[in-house]
Structure 1
Amino acid sequence: MAQAMAFGPMDGVDGVDGVDGVEGLDTLGGGPRQAVFRPLGLAPEFVRRANEVDYRSHRWPPRPPNVPWPPPIGSLPGAWPTAPGGIARRLADFTPDNSSLLVLAEFVQLKDAQNRDAWARLMASNDMANDIAAHGGVPAELDELRRLAQYRGGVMAEALAQRNGIIGYFRGLLQFNLATHPYTYHLAAAALRVGQFLCMHYKGQFNRPRPNRLDPSVMSPIDPPGHSSYPSGHSLQSFLIARCLEQVVPTAVGTGLATSPYMLLAERIAKLREVLGVHYPSDTTAGRRVAGTAFPLLMRCPLIRGTPVLDTQNVPNNEVGQVAGHPIYHNGWFGRAREEWEPR
C-alpha cells in the first residue's frame, strides 16, 4: 500500500490507494476530490453558415440564431428548469476531512437539556492527578518509559506510520476503504475529528509537559509534538474509532475474543506512543476513558444517528437498533455503515 496515508489534518484519506492519481481516468468522470481546469475560449462553430466563407466563433454560453438560450424560466415549453427546493446532501460531495467537520459542528452543540448531563460528564471525565497516582506517580511513569524504550528498534516503522495514519491501520483489519465502504470510512473520520477536538480541549486545560522535558534520558527518536501531553490524542482517537467499528462490523468478527480486534489495535497504537517516549502511561489511560465517555454523545449527532421516519401511528419505522442506549436510524451514517457490512 502506498505510504501517503495523510490528507491535510485528516488521517488516512487514502481509501482508494492511489487510484485518484490515475489522471487518465479523469475523462471517465473524475474523482470527487480532483481539481478540474476547464478553459473556455473562442472556438469555431460546428459548420460554416450558408453563404459565408469563414467560420463564426462559438462562444459559451452559445447564442443560437433567433433562439434565446437558455430560455427565460417559464417563458417556453420545456424551459430551463429551476432547482427543486431541497436537494439532498450526498456523502460523496464531501471528503472525509470536510464531512468530519460537519459532525464536529453537531457534536459541540449537544448541550441542550436532553444531553446536558452527558456533556457535563464528558467535560469532567479527566483527572490528571488521579491518573498519575494510579500509575505510581511521575517517577514510576518515567521509569516505565525507559523500560519500554528497548522496543523502539522493532516498532519504529510502524509507530512512524501511525503518526498520521491511524485509519489506515483500522482499514487493514478488514480491507475496507473509501470506495468500498464510504459510510464506514466517514464514520471513522468523524471519530478521528471529534477525538482531535477533545484531546486539544484537555491538553489546553492540563498543559502537561512531555516526558523528555522532565527526564532527558527518555529522549524520543522523534521530535515530540509541540502541544502538551495529557491526554494522548492517539489513544483517544484510536479507542473512539474502535468503539464505532466494533458496533458497525458484523458481530461474528472477533467471536471468542474477550476484546474486539479493534480494541486490540487501539491498545497497540496507544502503547507505541509510550514506546516512542512521547506519552506517559497515564496519558494513554485518560485517552481511553474519554473515548468511552464521548462515544455515546457521538452516537447522538444527527448525521450519525439519523432521523426517525414515522408511520401512520407516529411510530418510527426505520430504527435499526440502539447503540449506547439511544436509537439509531437507517438513514444515518451509522445505520448505513452497518448495512455496508450486513445488507438488510
Structure 2
Amino acid sequence: MGGMLVKCPCFGCPEPVLYVSKERPLLVQNHKDTRGPVARARFPRRFWDADFYGLAILAEFAQQPWASTIVLQPPPATDSSETEAELATLLQLAEAERPVRISEIVAQDGSGFLNYFLRLLMMSEESHPATFKVIKAAARVSEMLMAHYKVQYSRARPQQLAPALMPPIPAQLHP
C-alpha cells in the first residue's frame, strides 16, 4: 500500500523519518540520541510558553506566606466622605481627561495593555524573552492577588455609585 514519507528535523537528533499511511497512521523511526542518557533529557525552559511558565511561578508564590505579609487597609465605606471625595475627583478626571484619552483606553482594552506596555519598554517577547517571562509571571501573581482582594472587599465600582462614570468599554465581570 502507498503512503507518504515525511522528513522533518527533530530536536537533538538527526532527521527522523515519519511514515504516514492508512495502515500505519504515524510511526516514528528515530536515530539514537547522541547527547547522553535519555534520563537527563529535560524540556528546555526557553521553549516554555510565557503564560504557562507564569502559572508555575504562581504555584510557587501561592505557597509563600503572602497573606500575612501583604496587609491592605479596607476601602472606605460606600457612604463615607472619603468615597464622595474619590467620586468627585473621578468625575472631574472623566470630564477633563476621557475625551483626550479615549483612543489610549480602547488600545489598552483586553490584551492590548500588555502590547501597549511592551511598546513603552521598546521590547517584545522575541527581543527580550527572559524579561517577557518575568512580566508574564508577575502578571499571573498580581491577577491572583487582585482576585483575592476583590473577593475580600467586594467594593462597589464607581459607576454603581455615580452612573456618569460608566466606562467607555465593557468592564470585566468581577467587582
Instruction: Tell me the TM-score range normalised by the shorter chain.
Output: 0.7 to 0.9
Give the whole-Å Cα distance in 2 for the aligned partners of 1:40 and 1:190. Answer: 40
| Corresponding position of 2:102 | 156
| Corresponding position of 2:117 | 170
Selected match of 1:138 from 71, 83, 97: 83
Deviations 1:287-315 (A, max 9, x none): xxxxxxxxxxxxxxxxxxxxxxxxxxxxx
Cα distance, 1:181 vs. partner?
A: 1.2
Matched residue type, 2:166 = M
Distance 1:61 1:219, change over 3 A: closer
| Corresponding position of 1:196 | 143
Distance 1:89 1:152, change over 3 A: same
- Secondary structure in 2 aligned to 1:142? helix
Aligned partners of 1:100 and 1:190 also within 8 Å: yes
Give the whole-Å Cα distance in 1 for the aligned partners of 2:25 and 2:73. Answer: 67
Q: Which runs of 5+ in 1 are unaligned?
A: 1-26, 30-37, 43-56, 63-68, 71-77, 112-117, 229-344
Deviations 1:99-158 (A, max 9, x none): 1101001111124xxxxxx65121xx21124699xx961111111111011211211121
Q: Which runs of 5+ in 2 are unaligned?
A: 1-6, 10-17
Give the whole-Å Cα distance in 1 for the aligned partners of 2:108 and 2:19. Answer: 41
Matched residue type, 1:154 = V
Aligned partners of 1:210 and 1:224 also within 8 Å: no
Give the whole-Å Cα distance in 1 for the aligned partners of 2:129 and 2:164. Answer: 45
Identical-pair percentage: 27
Matched residue count: 157
Could you list the runs of 4 or more consecutive aligned residues of structure 1 that deviate by over 6 angstroms after TM superposition? 78-82
TM-score w.r.t. structure 1 length?
Answer: 0.39
Cα distance, 1:61 vs. partner?
A: 3.6
Matched residue type, 1:147 = Q
- Secondary structure in 1 aligned to 2:40? coil
Matched residue type, 1:142 = L
Aligned partners of 1:167 and 1:188 also within 8 Å: no
Cα distance, 1:83 vs. partner?
A: 5.3
